[in-house]
Structure 1
Amino acid sequence: MKNVGFLSFGHYQPVPGSQTRTASDVMLQSIDLAVAAEELGIDGAYFRVHHFARQLASPFPLLAAVGARTSRIEIGTGVIDMRYENPLYMAEDAAAADLINEGRLQLGISRGSPETAVRGYEAFGHVPPEGSSDADMARAHTELFRAAIAGAGLVDSDPRMTGRSVRLPVMPQAPGLSDRIWWGSGTRASAEWTAEQGMNLMSSTLLTEDTGVPFDQLQLEQIERFRTAWAAAGWQREPRVSVSRSVIPVLDAQDRAWFGERSGDDQVGHLDGGLARFGKSYVGEPDQLAEELAADVAVQAADSLLLTVPNQLGVDYNARLLSALADHVLPAIGWKPRT
């Protein structure tokens, strides 16, 4: 059975029509939307992380607050840019949030996507070593973070304080969190690398390569390569795979005015110096959406689906959107509400 969560990019802006005019608005509404989603039987509440922008930025206070207000729903990120992170401080924050969530944290991380700031991670104190790239630095941060949450000894103790010389791990520790780390992959090759590292796969509506086939077919190949590499690596647990989609049911004239009437097409453009393929948005009557989503081969292949939501329209609108999808669209892909 599929897992389905919502993914909020956490935009806020004092513009006409926005229900999230301030950072306070978007944070408090994110908590309320997670509560509403849990009541609908939705499986997950996920949040995007950006820096130097009017979007959600520091995820762990929000994740902890959502955990304190809910009891069942998975709570995660999609994704944290590891170029900006202090791995050990992040390990402490992540473990604390997971303990408050009672083991429901699902952390999506990645090497990062284009940001509004030029080399903004350098302002956070993270500069790639000579001869390496920002992507190399993100992966190095990831390696240290994962070692820390797995309980590795990282520093020598002071025998004057501990009575003996041992290697100390960061505290607190959250059992099982190391199995709930996802890598945001934008290519087939990075999906294979993700499997080799033993992380779950998170794939969005953007792939930074193009072979000329429809987006869902290219993403299906990415998923298949991930699972083949996972099996070859010999990991003992079953991996998880998520994909993201924008799915908007048109229920009235207001929906039609905001989003149109019909699903669009894939788009191909240039990003980071190469071709990229963007997946289409699904827009239309619920019955039409059910047929289209059921025919999406990548959605069918994944075990988890993250639905991007227009968070600036407010909690009531997005709860209504999720309710319509839960009642009329998601059953077509094998989803049932959790209780």
Structure 2
Amino acid sequence: MAVVVPFEKETASIEAMVRATKADMERVNAMILSRTGSEVTMIPEVANHLISSGGKRLRPMLTLATAALAGYHGDGHVKLAAAVEFMHTATLLHDDVVDESDMRRGKPAARMVWGNEASVLVGDFLLGQAFKMMVEVGSMRALDILATAAAVIAEGEVAQLAAAKNTATTEDEYLTVIKGKTAELFAAACEVGPVIADRPKAEQAAARAYGMNLGIAFQLVDDALDYGGKAQKLGKNVGDDFREGKITLPVLLAFRRGTEQERLFWKRTLVESTIEDGDLETAIGLMTKHSALADTVERARHYGDKANDALALFPDGAMKHALMEAVAFCIARAH
């Protein structure tokens, strides 16, 4: 059983951004391939398993797009975009080990092929390469933004571990977790564009606010899709969050709005990890009953609107339109 979450703008896509950043993304992809090289053959094997597995490269595209929006002329944005993708890939490698995930982007997770140790260590290698590229750009401010993001992402992941199986988690605490583990990299990826273009602080802050709110919307939709999506769209198994005991917004809303008997169900499955056949279907049914999935998507739309509002500071044009389309895509990507 799966409930398809109703999304608006079914045709929303990131094609406008793909077209607008195509030339620079080709340079980014070439740099990614060149920087995964190593005499230790397992390193490029593991890295390329994930890097070449069809990810949209949304975060590096955002770096290129915001640099163009800010009128940047130079090559630094290409290295920073590649660094952002390496940071993201390293996070995925580490996450799959922590979450004991079997699948990533529709294929076996790297840990299932090479083991947990290799996945963690290759993730560390990619982080090292990311920092090398940041240093080469020569912007201390950009380096500070991305280095801070790396620390915040790790904090967010640890905070999620602490919140796991805790049904007393509040919505504010949940938002703090997803700001750290997901939205921070979106924010940093967008902020460094105007920074290396030496734009005013207000534009740097606006780009960061766009990325932060886009990242929150992105994660909210992901959390809804774990219960109301399809495996091929998710790139992982539907219900993974449920099986791992993750307390996400759909769970919080269903738990808070449910009866005492329903809360006992959530405590048995998520807190005590006693999951029986049919429990995922029951969880989806309770979320549907209490509008938890639809309301999670509605929250995502709210943050999407905030992301678009942050762009008001920038002049109208093709790149600004592409960034707004990216917001619509993130919210409508269940289709």
TM-score class, shorter-chain normalisation, is: 0.3 to 0.5
Q: TM-score, normalised by structure 1?
A: 0.32
TM-score, structure 2 as length reference = 0.32
More strand by share: 1
Higher relative contact order (CA 8 A, sep 6+): 2
- Structure with bigger helix share is 2
